[in-house]
Amino acid sequence: MSKMISHSWGNNKRVFAEHRTHSQIANVVETVVNSEPSSVIPRGAGRSYGDQALVTDGLMISLTQQDHLENLEMPISGLINVKGGMSIGQLLDATIPLGWILPVIPGSQHITIGGALAADAHGKNHWHQSSIASCCEELNVMISDGSIIRCSRETENQLFWATIGGLGLTGLITSATLRLQRIAGTSVKVQTKCYENLSTLLKGFDDATASEEYAVAWLDLLTSSQLGRGIVKSASVYQHGQDWEKSKRFNQIHLPKPRNVNVVTPRICRTHNNLKYLFSSKAKDISVASIRNYLFPLDRIRNWNSLYGKSGLIQWQFILPDKETSLLEEIIMGFNKTSALPSLAVLKRCGEASESYLSFCSPGWTLAIDLPANQDSYRYISKYNPLIANATGRIYLAKDSCVDSGLLGKMYPRLAHWKAIQKEFDPKGIWQSDLSRRLKLCS
Ligand SMILES: Cc1cc2nc3c(=O)[nH]c(=O)nc-3n(C[C@H](O)[C@H](O)[C@H](O)COP(=O)(O)OP(=O)(O)OC[C@H]3O[C@@H](n4cnc5c(N)ncnc54)[C@H](O)[C@@H]3O)c2cc1C
């Protein structure tokens, strides 16, 4: 098969590489064992913003979902065995009508189970459910010699914790056993509250986490007078009117392709933010929505990433512990004095960290900011990344496009241990991505 141009979800990285999709494990084994060193990376739905699933001049390998669900034991134990290439949306299609849900759901239903596990993804409820590792009981991982290793907290636990959050660099997750939880309805009651500045918003967010299952805040980083103003949307499952068919309807808009032009300009972003804040402050405080509409707001616009034109966007997501709220404020305030354009900013609350060696979330606040991929943005990020590291915060590697590799040891104290496990399970150094080359993750 020939090489072609592939790009990241942020469109900020483009590579010339081969992409092979297999439905049979035997074919994947053959491909992997016959690969050159430093040349192969698993790829899921390609929704990572940066170079996590790209490898220049190499091979990106995907597993299609085959038969979706094996050993469906949900009614008794909530345990389900799923293929790594299955999407979150496909899983929910199968389980929600039976009254079960994945406890941790990232913000797009197109993401695959393998991709979510490789990022140790979090949802809008990290403070009470932690990351997706918390609901993963077992993995089957194809390592670079083609063998498939079953690993869990009890068996081959080093591989288990290195693979969750390991960005595909220990091997291909062929399947996973996940623990689901019961869900009493398919709608959520959403509470919307607007706050005029960051400190009242943080307090309001914390109040919401005391009683609600999910919470997320949108921040306006483009207003100089009310910096950090925003909207907290918290939600809990609504137990009445359990009409799955109704909640399954998920209307999507397909934007006309803006012909490689960046339409995300300061004026458009400011107008959007002002209208969004105004409408939300006038809207009803309480509403009922389908759980998908609440969990996946960005999926409603299919190709929103193309709005940023040819050079694309970067998503910069960092986490800071509670005692560093002043740095969070400083970063937000700093946008007043730069040409970097924070077009979208989303804040979440994080709780207990997972045991995976490269997991991102730990107690504190995480802010994800979309910025056009340009020098202003890179300069702004490079200015604050060292301060984030000094404050015992970190950058989310599953979304990163530009962190300095010299900061990683500080941000991820178990990095050296992860590297040793990675090397043990990939002695010939088959797995490699542009991210791992950039950050020198695999020797
Ligand atoms: C709109 C949007 C919303 C998002 N919301 C959230 C969120 O709320 N929380 C959050 O944590 N993240 C979020 N993300 C980030 C997302 O969870 C990660 O980027 C995820 O890794 C993407 O999965 P994917 O299936 O698209 O994989 P890809 O982008 O194809 O790959 C991502 C990484 O996973 C590895 N990988 C993929 N499949 C496998 C496999 N089978 N075995 C081993 N490794 C594999 C790849 O090698 C690569 O390193 C969001 C992304 C988008 C675009």
Other C-beta atoms lying within 10 Å of the C-beta of residue 323: 10
Report yes or no: 389 and 407 within 8 Å, Cβ to Cβ: yes
Other C-beta atoms lying within 10 Å of the C-beta of residue 325: 15
Residue from 46, 33, 191, 182 nearest 124 by CA: 191
Report yes or no: 20 and 60 within 8 Å, Cβ to Cβ: yes
For 18, 58, 261, 329, 334, the CA distances from 372, given in Å and listed in that order, are 27, 27, 12, 21, 17
Task: For residue 119, give the amino acid letter.
Answer: A
237 phi/psi in degrees, rounded to 5: -65, 135
Report yes or no: 100 and 75 within 8 Å, Cβ to Cβ: no
Secondary structure tally for the chain: helices H, strands E = 15, 19
- pLDDT single digits (tens) 6-15: 999 999 999 9
Whether 100 shows a pLDDT value over 80: the answer reads yes
Query: What tokens appear for 252 in the block?
Result: 């999507």
Q: Which residue among 21, 52, 214, 296 has the greatest number of ligand 1 atoms within 8 angstroms of its CB, and so is best to mutate?
A: 52
31 phi/psi in degrees, rounded to 5: -60, -45
Q: From the CB of 185, is ligand 1 less than 6 Å away?
A: no
- The pLDDT assigned to 284 comes to 80
For 8, 81, 254, 314, 371, the CA distances from 311, given in Å and listed in that order, are 11, 39, 20, 10, 11
Q: Please tell me the distance from the alpha carbon of residue 267 to that of residue 64, in angstroms, as a whole number.
A: 42
- The pLDDT assigned to 244 comes to 47
Give distance in angstroms: CA of 116 to centre of ligand 1: 5
Q: From the CB of 22, is ligand 1 less than 6 Å away?
A: no
Q: Which helix (H) or strand (E) holds 7?
A: strand 4-7
Give distance in angstroms: CA of 20 to centre of ligand 1: 18
- pLDDT single digits (tens) 276-317: 999 999 888 999 999 999 999 999 988 899 999 999 999 999
Q: From the CB of 173, is ligand 1 less than 6 Å away?
A: yes
- pLDDT single digits (tens) 46-92: 999 999 999 999 999 998 866 656 555 566 789 999 999 999 999 99
Q: Please tell me the distance from the alpha carbon of residue 415 to that of residue 52, in angstroms, as a whole number.
A: 17
- The pLDDT assigned to 252 comes to 73
Report yes or no: 178 and 135 within 8 Å, Cβ to Cβ: yes
Q: From the CB of 143, is ligand 1 less than 6 Å away?
A: no
Helix 198-211 / helix 325-334 crossing angle, nearest 10 deg: 130
Q: From the CB of 342, is ligand 1 less than 6 Å away?
A: no
Q: Please tell me the distance from the alpha carbon of residue 308 to that of residue 299, in angstroms, as a whole number.
A: 16
The lowest-confidence range among 26-40, 228-242, 342-356 is 228-242
Give distance in angstroms: CA of 167 to centre of ligand 1: 8
Atom 23, ligand 1: residue with shortest CA distance: 115
231 phi/psi in degrees, rounded to 5: -130, 125
pLDDT (mean) for 26-35? 91
Q: From the CB of 167, is ligand 1 less than 6 Å away?
A: yes
- pLDDT single digits (tens) 211-251: 999 999 999 999 878 888 999 999 999 876 545 444 455 66
270 phi/psi in degrees, rounded to 5: -65, -45
- pLDDT single digits (tens) 399-438: 999 999 999 999 999 999 999 999 999 999 999 999 999 9
- pLDDT single digits (tens) 105-159: 999 999 999 999 999 999 999 999 999 999 999 999 999 999 999 999 999 999 9
pLDDT (mean) for 18-25? 91
Q: From the CB of 115, is ligand 1 less than 6 Å away?
A: yes
* DSSP at 17: E
- The pLDDT assigned to 247 comes to 46
Domains of the chain and CATH, by start: 69-183 (3.30.465.10)
Report yes or no: 16 and 34 within 8 Å, Cβ to Cβ: no
3-class secondary structure, 315: strand
3-class secondary structure, 202: helix
Tokens 């993804």 belong to which residue? 121
- pLDDT single digits (tens) 177-212: 999 999 988 899 999 999 999 999 999 999 999 999
Task: For residue 185, give the amino acid letter.
Answer: G
